[in-house]
Amino acid sequence: MSLSLDLQHLYSFFPKEALTALEGKATEAKDLLLKKQGPGNDFLGWLSLPEENTSGILDEINATATQLQKQSEAVVVVGIGGSYLGARAVIDALSPYFPQGKDYPEILYAGHQLSQAYLKELLDYLKDKSYSVIVISKSGTTTEPAIAFRYLKKALEERYSNQEVQQRIVAITDSSKGALRQLADQQGYKTFIIPDNVGGRYSVLTPVGLLPIAVAGFDIESLNQGALEMAQHLAQAEASENPALQYAIARNLLYRNGKAIELLVNYTPKLATVAEWWKQLFGESEGKKHQGIFPASATFSTDLHSLGQLVQEGVRNLFETVLHIEDTKYNLAIPHDAQNLDKLNYLQEKQVDFVNKQAETATILAHVQGKVPNILIKLDNLSEKSIGELLYFYEFSCAVSGYMLGVNPFNQPGVEAYKRNMFALLGKPGFEQEREELLGMINRS
């Protein structure tokens, strides 16, 4: 496997035995998960997705992706939260920083926020482009994507015939119910199903993630294979050799000792959206019963010039998890400069990545000396297979960590609070009483 876990920078904070002492609890959590006996066990479909994603399913997704590629300069993925973050995380991690040529459609995103300016500028940008839409929603009534889809659908209908609009919209939704399912059936859109037993933040290995990733030109078979190999290893490995359990143990031990913030750090900016996906996964899974580690992220060395002082000498309530990529693919040696005004000739002929990795090591050591515990997650490279391993590793460790914390990692009751208030303030039918109460609160303030 590409992925490995390094906990050596915790041992100055806790003896190794402190981690070993929690292996039994982690194993119990793992058993609850695999035997489907824990809270939220009706949302464990993600566990077996890598095995269940047969060549037939992947072939169907690839065939649809090919059709979208042929007819589109751009493909807009409409969704919010887990309905777009997993796909975007993989696409951003594997895409070049500065795309050359147009072998595949440009992947754009909508419905992941409520910015009027963003939506207007997106629609203007698409006016002269041939585009298609992948709309992702189990219900079809989630406010942000539903608004965006209204506009995109209307714009397509104003430009194309009914038959071509039908070919340019793919819906990923519930198998039998909901507004989007009803519309897709009425209009004859190509559809894929969001399984009932897979929550949004665990859905990257369903068509929710796989179709946009395939449209972007990436190998979903390799992605799934990486996840499959990780799934098999995590199911079989004992706690001492199980990276997901060791990560969950380390996080819980740190949390018990006052470390309530986890800063996920990368030295490869392509991983920034992986961190956004990770933040939803852990934040929504663990943040219950007034408990949970706050997930934050940073890209170093950039953010060392803004957050470095705080991490080094601020409140000692955080720990870092560093994503380390061993092989960064390119060779780029620092050139000699005759004047040497910048005093960098001592680095001539050294790879830029060598400098980056020395910065990484130096920062880890400095932060550990500053009493910030560090966990290191290493990947051999950035590829579909290694990213598949990483995604499944995080999903499994998050579930185990949630059970160790004593919460249901698969529900999210708290996210409904803002929605109820928003619906009331917007005047949605059925929320009249809540509206009066909220307006009273606003007037009193």
Q: In the annotation, is 371 catalytic?
A: no
Output the six-digit token pair for 407: 């919460």
Cβ-Cβ contacts under 8 Å for 370 (sequence gap 6 or more):
311, 312, 313
3 state SS of 399: helix
Q: What's the Cα-to-Cα distance from 283 to each of 262, 279, 300, 356, rounded to whole Å?
A: 10, 6, 22, 29
Q: In the annotation, is 436 catalytic?
A: no
Question: Could you give the CA distance from residue 271 to residue 434 in angstroms, rounded to a whole number?
Answer: 41
Do residues 238 and 20 lie in contact, with contact meaning Cβ atoms separated by under 8 Å? no
Q: Which residue in 144, 221, 284, 389 is the catalytic one?
A: 284
Q: In the annotation, is 276 catalytic?
A: no
Q: Which residue in 70, 127, 290, 305 is the catalytic one?
A: 305
Question: Could you give the CA distance from residue 232 to residue 224 in angstroms, rounded to a whole number?
Answer: 12
Cβ-Cβ contacts under 8 Å for 358 (sequence gap 6 or more):
none
CA atoms within 13 A on the CB side of 299: 10
Question: Could you give the CA distance from residue 238 to residue 241 in angstroms, rounded to a whole number?
Answer: 5
3 state SS of 188: coil
Query: Which H or E element spans position 192?
Result: strand 190-193
Give the orientation angle of helix 116-126 with respect to helix 143-159, to 10 degrees. 20
Q: Which residue in 16, 419, 432, 437 is the catalytic one?
A: 419
Question: Could you give the CA distance from residue 189 to residue 243 in angstroms, rounded to a whole number?
Answer: 42
Do residues 274 and 93 lie in contact, with contact meaning Cβ atoms separated by under 8 Å? yes
- 428 backbone dihedrals φ, ψ, rounded to 5°: -65, 135
Q: Which letter does DSSP use for residue 36 in this model?
A: T
Active site (catalytic) residues = 284, 305, 419
